[in-house]
Structure 1
Amino acid sequence: MNLASPQTLGQTWSRHILDSAQLWVHRRDAQHWLDLGSGSGFPGLVLAILAREDGHSVVMVEGNQKKSAYLRQAIRVLHLPAEVQATRVESLPCKIWETSALVVTARAFAPLGRIFDWTDGFGGGAARALLHKGRGYQNEVAEARDGWTFDLLEHPSSTDADGVVLDVTGVRRIDTQLGN
């Protein structure tokens, strides 16, 4: 199972674990985490390990059944406050976006506009997103603004000179018929 690129295995600590853990610094009032496209568990498993002592919960969304099984086994073995939704992001139940103090995460998942489309702007609720993005993220932001309005803070990545953590709130679809 391809959980990480073979070229990055020698950099597992900095490239995957620390990169995932840096989100914890930006958690503010987060209590519930929703990791989209969890794959190998970055950042979902790392956040669940950090959350163990703080009463936080993590839901990892992964459509690949083999990767979902791996994530479930890791959660079981590590006794983590987490669960796996073995489904595609666009199939998530609407009620998931109503979770209070929700932070949505995604790493190496999809362009920003596509994430908004698949989640309907995180259900139009009060969810906040912390999204890893690399070189060229400005183009993703500009393209997403064609269909969505949102508030954005850019936190420099602590592990990648070209990367950022986008801190996204207030996501709303632009109503093209009304021009706003």
Structure 2
Amino acid sequence: MTGVSRETHEKLERFAALLEQWNSRINLISPRDMAHLWSRHIEDSLQLTAHIPAGVRIIDLGSGGGFPGLILAIATGNPVTLIESDQRKCAFLREASRLCGVKTTVIAKRIEAAEVEPADIITARALAPLSRLLGWAEPLLKKEGFCLFLKGRKASDELTDATRDWHMTTESFPSQSSEDGVLLKISELKRV
């Protein structure tokens, strides 16, 4: 893995070992994905770091097994709020945060029920169609903030659908870990 310090790599290895241990008890990632944990999940999440300045607050929606939110906390050192409704996954996120020594706040609620101070950046991965993501993200995003969403092959269709309800500035970057994936950077978000 390139682009991360030795210390960060050690924390990511600690995270990966814990995820493998917990995954047999609760479904954090698909069992068939364990063989591709680094390329499919960790490196996929790490590609967001190029867009994250130092010292900003991040909210990760539907954090699940820690992708991308917990990986970003490890890689950037920025404080990350992880919102996840599944209590068992929240227990994993808390333990992984503790073992990796990162600044996270785990909120065990549905996204629409979470009451948190708006953040500079909202992230999500494999959670919901873009229109729904934007509805969840908008009240949690600072006015000058932006969203980073990892999307799959339907990203273009989702963007078209989202423009019916949202005005936004969008940048699209090819995924570094998936042939048909993209990273969407969305700013200046306003409901139509």
**TM-score, length-normalised on structure 1?**
0.87
Q: Which whole-Å CA distance do the structure 2 matches of 1:145 and 1:16 have between them? A: 29
Deviation at 1:131, TM superposition (A): 0.3
Counterpart contact for 1:116–1:122, Cα < 8 Å = no
Q: Which whole-Å CA distance do the structure 2 matches of 1:164 and 1:30 have between them? A: 25
- TM-aligned CA distance change 1:163 to 1:106, over 3 Å: same
Identical amino acids, percent of aligned pairs: 38
CA deviation map 1:59-109 (0-9, x unaligned): 10001111011101111111111110111111122x522x4xx11100011
Deviation at 1:44, TM superposition (A): 1.2
- Give RMSD over aligned pairs: 1.6
Q: Which whole-Å CA distance do the structure 1 matches of 2:54 and 2:101 have between them? A: 23
Q: 1:154 aligns with which of 168, 172, 185?
A: 172
List gaps (5 residues or longer) in structure 2.
Answer: 1-25
Where do 4+ consecutive residues of structure 1 move more than 3 Å?
119-124
Q: Which whole-Å CA distance do the structure 2 matches of 1:120 and 1:76 have between them? A: 29
- Partner letter of residue 61 of structure 1? I
Q: Which whole-Å CA distance do the structure 2 matches of 1:29 and 1:114 have between them? A: 28
Q: Which whole-Å CA distance do the structure 2 matches of 1:70 and 1:161 have between them? A: 30
Counterpart contact for 1:121–1:171, Cα < 8 Å = no
Residue range with higher mean Cα deviation, 31-40 or 121-130: 121-130
Deviation at 1:28, TM superposition (A): 3.8
List gaps (5 residues or longer) in structure 1.
Answer: 175-180
Matches within 5 A, 1:63-78: 63-78=85-100
- TM-aligned CA distance change 1:8 to 1:25, over 3 Å: same
SS at match of 1:31: coil
Quote the residue 1:21 is aligned against.
Answer: 46
1:113 aligns with 2:131: yes
Deviation at 1:121, TM superposition (A): 5.6
- Partner letter of residue 89 of structure 1? I
Matches within 5 A, 1:99-138: 99=119, 102-120=120-138, 122=140, 125-138=143-156
CA deviation map 1:45-72 (0-9, x unaligned): 11111123xxx21110001111011101
